Amino acid sequence: MSEILVADRLSKHFGGLIAVNKVNFSIMADEVTGIIGPNGSGKTTLFNLISGFFPPTEGRITFFDNEITHIPPYERVIKGIVRTFQLVSVFNSMTVWENLVLSSIRFKEKHVSLRKFFFSSAKDKEIKENCLRALKLVGLQSNAQALTSELSYGSKRMLEIGIALSLNPKLLLLDEPLAGLSDGEISEVIDLLKQIKKNFTLVIIEHKISKIINLVDRLCVMNEGSFICEGNPDDALCNPVVRECYWGKREIS
């Protein structure tokens, strides 16, 4: 298995706060990596650095051996790094179909006028097929013309993942994809992730460890901006340092 993304001594400081502290991290092709850690341990900030939303304070990121440390988010999407957000991020005032098509067009061409979006590119055969494939994968075909604001939170989450998939990511970063969902919706998202893991390289930040334990090949644990453990999920969870950071030191009487 080869490394597709390598982060080298990656750090992010917010004033005096060190959110990510000299992290060395690599992602293997076709692997599913889980990232867990207490609230505020730096998981989302790490995604913001990889996806280009924040510039790092120090360190370097390479993707398929090309340095991407300072390139903007949309160029990273074109290169294949696509992410979803902890709070679902879709356009509520558009239909499901428009959300999908808009993203595809935005990342296909650098400059798109609104006129082109509605009258020309929306008819592009390749974009249409791509969006249709993504729509089917996330099970929202019957909602294609529905206004996004009318969808349940679970369906919006599915749409957000669908949009990400329609961009044909080489690396898909999912920030707490199960957050805010009911048990039924969680099962649907897990089934989808099990299905797509065959074709995509995934990194999943998640609090509900038990839900993703059977999905991930490798588990990384963050605490206070650093990786304190990474490896086989069962071993990582049994690691005394990890147990201490979640449950505290055991009193010895």
Query: Which residues, in sequence order, are CB contacts of 133 under 8 Å at separation 6+?
Result: 166
Which span (40-48, 67-75, 109-117, 146-154) binds ligand ADP, by CB under 6 A?
40-48
For residue 43, state whether it binds ligand ADP (rule: CB under 6 A).
yes
Residue nearer to ligand ADP on the CB measure, 39 or 210: 39
Query: Which residues, in sequence order, are CB contacts of 22 under 8 Å at separation 6+?
Result: 9, 10, 11, 58, 59, 226
Which span (13-21, 68-76, 87-95, 242-250) binds ligand ADP, by CB under 6 A?
13-21
For residue 73, state whether it binds ligand ADP (rule: CB under 6 A).
no
For residue 37, state whether it binds ligand ADP (rule: CB under 6 A).
yes
For residue 180, state whether it binds ligand ADP (rule: CB under 6 A).
no
Residues 8-26, buried b or exposed e (16+ Cβ, 10 A)? bebbbeeeeebbbbebebe
- Cα 87 → chain centroid: 12
Closest approach, Cβ 250 to Mg ion, in A, equals 28
Q: Residue 235 CB: number of other CB atoms within 10 A?
A: 12
Q: What's the alpha-carbon Rg for the chain, to the nearest Å?
A: 19
For residue 17, state whether it binds ligand ADP (rule: CB under 6 A).
yes
Q: In what order do the strands lie in the sheet with 58-63?
A: 17-28, 3-14, 58-63, 66-67
Count residues near ligand ADP (CB under 6 A): 11
Identify the H or E element spanning 153: helix 153-166
Residue nearer to ligand ADP on the CB measure, 44 or 143: 44
Residue nearer to Mg ion on the CB measure, 32 or 36: 36
For residue 39, state whether it binds ligand ADP (rule: CB under 6 A).
yes
Contacting ligand ADP (CB under 6 A), which of 4, 34, 36, 42? Answer: 42
For residue 40, state whether it binds ligand ADP (rule: CB under 6 A).
yes
Closest approach, Cβ 29 to ligand ADP, in A, equals 25
Residue nearer to Mg ion on the CB measure, 137 or 222: 222
Query: Which residues, in sequence order, are CB contacts of 58 under 8 Å at separation 6+?
Result: 9, 10, 11, 22
Closest approach, Cβ 19 to ligand ADP, in A, equals 3
Query: Residues in the site for ligand ADP, rule: CB under 6 A?
Result: 14, 17, 19, 37, 39-45
